[in-house]
Structures are given as structure tokens and as C-alpha cells.
Amino acid sequence: MPLDGRPILTAAAMRAAEEQIIATGTSVSALMERAGAAVAAQVRRLAGDQEVLILCGPGNNGGDGYVAARLLAAAGQRVRVAATGAPRSDAAIAARHAWGRDVEALGAAAPAPVLVDALFGTGLSRGLGTDVAGALTRLAAAAALTIAVDLPSGAATDDGRLLSPVPDYDLTLALGALKPSHLLQPAAARLRRVIVLDIAVPVASEASVLARPRLSAPVVDAHKYSRGMVAVVAGAMPGASVLAATAAARGGAGYVLLLGGASDRVAHAIVRRRFDAAVIADKRIGALLVGPGLGRDERARERLEAALATDRPLVIDGDALRLLTPQKLAARKGPMILTPHAGEFDALFGADAGSKIDRARHAAATSGATIVFKGPDTVIAAPDGGVVVALAASSWLSTAGTGDVLAGLVAARLAVNGSNAMPDPLAAAAEAVWLHGEAARRAGPAFIADDLARHLPEAIAACL
């Protein structure tokens, strides 16, 4: 099953969901049996006739491992268990007793072709210790197939941190729901593939995985203004604003204005005009983009101030983010989308500790803007608390100008969405991030930002 649209639960939220079902009469042991059975089914499917080594920790994650081992052995699978020590919870103790076979010491365990890591799952808050981390690294390096139960041991649940060295895993079996570290870096980089296993625990969350958007072609009587008008404010580096304007045009906007640009490399379909405060106040403008290539001089400040003074839906990117203050954001009325990378985010909102999801959500709530916190794990947060996290996109996006393309695409989707209704900044930002990633996938390796914009119509076609 694809991960698109699935809820993302923190350790505390997952624990609360489990406690809720336990309160209705389902025992911890019954939940453990469900989880272990789901794990065993996946291992059985992938392992074939290869020997399986399951590593069990002292908690309920280890209990899931004991259940899986018992069920695999009953199905005829060659399986061994190695553990860090005795289980601690009643359910895990019962699961080990039901296993009924030898349990090897983790440090002395011989490798197997298939390794299942059920040492520590959701809720880990400290490193593994040298002996455990060393044994895990050794056994994982010798295995042909590595599988993590819920989360890799050594990864924090909520923020993507690695608390200890974490091997690469071929498959991670998320129990009940995705956790933030299945998507956030650097933990997510250790996970080649993630599957969510249904353990019959109802889950809900304000955070979810970015899904393919459902877009519509223009209606039969559409015209250029009804399809959405975007105005891009140019500045000191006109190439960036040209990339943004091109992306806006290819991203679905019916009319794109480039204001103040001096570049000759502008598509004929893009209208060029001098920058003027009266022009950007035009009520037909569905999205005003300021920032790509703007510069940080006095002229740049004046253009940003003029943009902030309008009531037009506003997208702020690049240099403009460095000229902003939280106070200016809070004082502005009207829809806003900010598209910072990590350095711009820290400069504007502070380099506070916490997960990328929590930081983006707090920034959105305090600024009143929808935040597109860019990176290999892009997080989109709305002022009302809604969060969407993108799956890892192409690493070839780490090249100059791709952020300008994204900013133009965000503006296009905001203008299109608001052309016939109140603009929905979260939906517009989510559409843009998905289309940006899909265009990168279609562009292949070693593309440049200009190539990326050319693939946007194909990405849109995939959503019609």
C-alpha cells in the first residue's frame, strides 16, 4: 500500500491510541499478538527458506519479536532469537515464555541471512549503548535482508534524530501508523522502504503524508484571468525571478506578470512590466510572489514593504525571508505562504530544538502564514495546526534555482485555487510540493532548474 495520505503519529499519540483500545477490553498481549503476527507474515513472505535471526529487546517491541519468532517457527521457518536480556513487561515475559526455545545472548549471536530488529521501537529516548549498537551493526552488515520492527533501534521516534549508529534497513514495518522518523531526516535516509501494518488500532492525526493531488482542467469557458493571475516581483538577480515566473506559467496560472525584471530570457507568454505599487494592488492578482533573486538592498526592502502592504495572497521566498521579521508577518492580513529552507527558517523563526514538524507548526501558528519548510523532508504547516510531510524527493533537486521553481509553482497553485473560491494556502502548497517532486522524478538525473520547469505540465497531467 502506498504511504500517500496516511496519518503520522508521535510516540505519545500512538501510545494514546493503544491505551484507548486497551480501555475497551483489548489486552496488551492481544495487541502484541496482532503485531507479531503481522510482522511474521511479512518476514515469511520475504525470507523464503532463508534462516531468520530476530533480535528482541526488553520491552514490548521485543515482545512483538518473540511472537513473530513463535509464529514463524510454527510455519516451518528456520528462526533463531537473540536478546539483550530478560523481558520486563508482563506481556513481553509471556511472549518469551510462549516462544519456548533457546534465546541467544545478543553479543554472541551468529549472523543470519535475514535480520529482524525488534530491539527498541517507538519511544526510545537514549542511545543503545556500545555493546548493543556494536552487535546490531555487526549482524546487520552480515545479513542479506534487514528488517526493522516499527522503527530502527537507535532512531528517535518524533524528530528523525539518530541516538546511536543506525544501519540501513531494506524494510521497516511501521506498526499501526507512520511515525515522524519514518519521514524526517536523518533517520528516514536509513529506511529503503516502509510498510504500515494494520494492527486494528484506530488512528487519527492532524499530520499526514503528502498525497498526489487531484487537479481539474480549466472549465470550458475559462479565460486567462479566471485561471489565476500571478505577479512575480523581480530584483537584483533577474534569472531567479524568470525561473519563478516560468514555473508559474507552466504550473497552471493563466496570466503571469514579471515586474521589474531586466532579463531577456523571458518566454513570450510572460508579460513584463515595470514594478509599481499600484500594479501589485490589482484585485485580479491571485498570488503575488516576492523573494526569488530580490536582493537585500534598499530597493529590495521597498519592494517587499509594498508587497506586504497589499491585501493580495502573498508567497514569500528567498531573499525576502531574510528581510522579514515575525512582527511584520503577524501584522499582515491576508493569505501568506512562506517557503524557507533551513537557514532561512532559522534566521526568521530561530534555531530552536524540536522536530521539524513541531517547529513548522509553531511558526505557522505564530506568523499566521502557511509554512513550506523545505529540505529532503519538506514539511508544510498551516496556522490551524494541519501538517503535511512530503516523501523524500529526488536528491538531484539540490541544485541552484529549484527553489525558485518551487516558489513560482506555489504562487501558481495559490492563484488557481483562489480563482473561483477563497484561496486554500495549505492545499496550494501541498499541490506545488507534490508537482515539484514529480517533475524532478520525470526529469531524471543531473537536471538543472530550467529542465525542471519544462516537466511541470507532465506532472500536472498525472493529476488530472
- Set of cell numbers at residue 344: 532561512
The answer to whether position 393 is within a domain reads yes
Ordered alpha helix ranges (H), 191-317: 238-250, 298-309
424-441: burial string, b at 16+ Cβ within 10 Å, e else: bbbbbbbbbbbbbbbbbb
C-alpha to C-alpha distances, 3 to 6, 106, 122, 182, nearest whole angstrom: 6, 33, 19, 11
**Residues 6+ away with beta carbon under 8 Å from 415:** 228, 229, 230, 248, 253, 285, 286, 287, 313
- Separation between Cα atoms, residue 37 and residue 180, nearest integer Å: 24
Nearest to 35 by CA among 148, 185, 176: 176
Query: Are 276 and 402 in the same domain?
Result: yes
The answer to whether position 217 is within a domain reads no
pLDDT higher than threshold 90 for residue 76: yes
Q: Which range (66-70, 179-183, 351-355, 384-388) has the least confidence?
A: 351-355
- What SS3 class is residue 157? coil
| CATH number of the domain encompassing residue 421 | 3.40.1190.20
| CATH number of the domain encompassing residue 159 | 3.40.50.10260
- Set of cell numbers at residue 24: 475497551
Query: Are 167 and 250 in the same domain?
Result: no
Nearest to 58 by CA among 83, 27, 94: 83
Q: For residue 262, what pLDDT is reported?
A: 65
The answer to whether position 223 is within a domain reads no
Per-residue pLDDT of 278-327, as tens digits, reads: 899 999 999 999 999 999 999 999 999 999 999 999 999 999 999 999 88
- φ, ψ of residue 295 in degrees (nearest 5): 85, 180
The answer to whether position 216 is within a domain reads no
What average pLDDT score do residues 169-177 get?
A: 97
Query: Are 151 and 252 in the same domain?
Result: no
Beta strands in 309-449 (DSSP E): 314-316, 336-338, 370-373, 379-381, 387-389
Residue 148 CA, chain-centre distance (Å), reads 20
Q: For residue 257, what pLDDT is reported?
A: 94
pLDDT higher than threshold 90 for residue 42: yes
Contact status, residue 359 vs residue 349, Cβ threshold 8 Å: yes
Tell me the whole-structure pTM to 2 decimals. 0.94
Q: Which domain, by its residues, includes 57? A: 11-205
pLDDT higher than threshold 90 for residue 417: no
- Separation between Cα atoms, residue 439 and residue 424, nearest integer Å: 22
Query: Are 234 and 201 in the same domain?
Result: no
Query: Are 447 and 378 in the same domain?
Result: yes
- Separation between Cα atoms, residue 355 and residue 365, nearest integer Å: 15
Element (H, E) at 61: helix 60-74
Number of domains the chain contains:
2
Average per-residue pLDDT in the chain? 94
pLDDT higher than threshold 90 for residue 2: no
Q: For residue 256, what pLDDT is reported?
A: 95
**Amino acid, res. 281:** A
The answer to whether position 42 is within a domain reads yes
The answer to whether position 380 is within a domain reads yes
Measured over all CA atoms, what is the biggest interatomic distance in the chain, rounded to whole angstroms? Answer: 80
Query: Are 195 and 273 in the same domain?
Result: no
The answer to whether position 219 is within a domain reads no
The answer to whether position 359 is within a domain reads yes
Query: Are 284 and 177 in the same domain?
Result: no
